[in-house]
Amino acid sequence: MSDELKTRLVREAQSIGFDMARICRPDAVGHVAQGLAGFLAQGYHGQMVWLAERTHWRADPSVLWPEARSVIVLGESYTPEHDPTAVHARPDRGAISVYAQNRDYHDAVKKRLKRLARWLIVETGDAIQVKVFVDTAPVPEKPLGQASGLGWQGKHTNLVSRDLGSWFFIGSVFTTLELDPDPAEIDHCGSCRACLDVCPTGAFPAPHQIDARRCISYLTIEHHGPVDADLRPLLGNRIYGCDDCLAACPWNKFAVTAREAKYHARNDLIAPRLAELAKLQDAEFRTHFSGSPIKRIGRNRFVRNVLYAIGNAGDPKLKSVAQSLCDDPDPTVADAAQWAVSRFK
């Protein structure tokens, strides 16, 4: 691929809405297999049983699609305009992860990926093939991001960029076209351990390792059923995801505010009232979170999270809210409500 066409590819990606575009080979992440095997052997994946499936794909993208010759890895900023940790000082309000404070990013990123893929086909001819991925297939996106030079996996295991900090989505375009790869990024964390030290639940057994079973994002989004009693007080008022390790990263001083309006927070989701969220029934929940990634976890799991936050709030005015749900038809919600009430005694 000529340097001139590669330059135009990067320019096109930026015009579409991506902030960064880098290229690597599909077989550039051979180290993933060992790390994934260790993660699974320790049981760090918790209830996410799908991570133990098709591990040969997750560990080697060249197996996922053998015909692919190049991977274009894209980064798109969703940096917030507000301080996402300020809500923790307001215990009667819920803390929602920044990426979920508006529309589901999967839809927006995938549309851009498809636009870029179509452009590439038009520019190079119909003989090439493309596939696009954004967090919905067994693709090791973070290792590919490091291999392509997009960023490096920090001690919190998330990708960090010198240009975008920690707040960015990752997408990829696999293609049968031979593209010149970019140099891989190196680790720039140094001795910093801000992301490790800030974690409320101690979810990092060691730098670059995460035990999802203690991660608040996992517990509030992926975990089914009651959360272990010893972890509930550590959730604070986090009701969907957790941004603490991302927000603590010093590289965020270089982050750029999200250009996409759909990533800008809805005012009612920056610090929503727990009392109002707890009252949502299924139909109301679906309407309230229409188009949001929060809708995916369903009313019962979400209200469970809200009740844990109410139990941690220490606000007497919220006791009656919890009491009203002690006989909820869903046993996990009822259990969470009873636990919350017990915290007021």
Q: Under a CB-based contact definition with an 8 Å cutoff, are residues 175 and 129 in contact?
A: yes
The crossing angle, in degrees rounded to 10, of helices 298-313 and 331-342 is 0
Phi, then psi, of 240 in degrees rounded to 5? -160, 100
Strand, coil or helix: 203: coil
Q: How many CB atoms lie within 10 A of CB 79?
A: 20
238-240 and 152-153: which strand pairing?
unpaired
Q: Under a CB-based contact definition with an 8 Å cutoff, are residues 278 and 322 in contact?
A: yes
Residue 60 annotated as catalytic: no
Instruction: Kindly state the helix (H) or strand (E) to which residue 239 belongs, with its residue range.
Output: strand 238-240
Residues 6+ apart with CB under 8 A from 11: none
CA–CA gap between residue 133 and residue 9 (Å, rounded): 18
Helix then strand then coil, in percent of the chain rounded to 5, is 45, 10, 40
Strand, coil or helix: 232: helix
CA dihedral sign of residues 213, 216, 218, 223: positive
Length of the chain: 345
Phi, then psi, of 6 in degrees rounded to 5? -65, -40
The crossing angle, in degrees rounded to 10, of helices 3-16 and 105-124 is 150
CA–CA gap between residue 235 and residue 219 (Å, rounded): 9
Q: Under a CB-based contact definition with an 8 Å cutoff, are residues 300 and 226 in contact?
A: no
Which residue is catalytic, options 27, 60, 92, 135? 135
Q: Which residues are catalytic?
A: 135
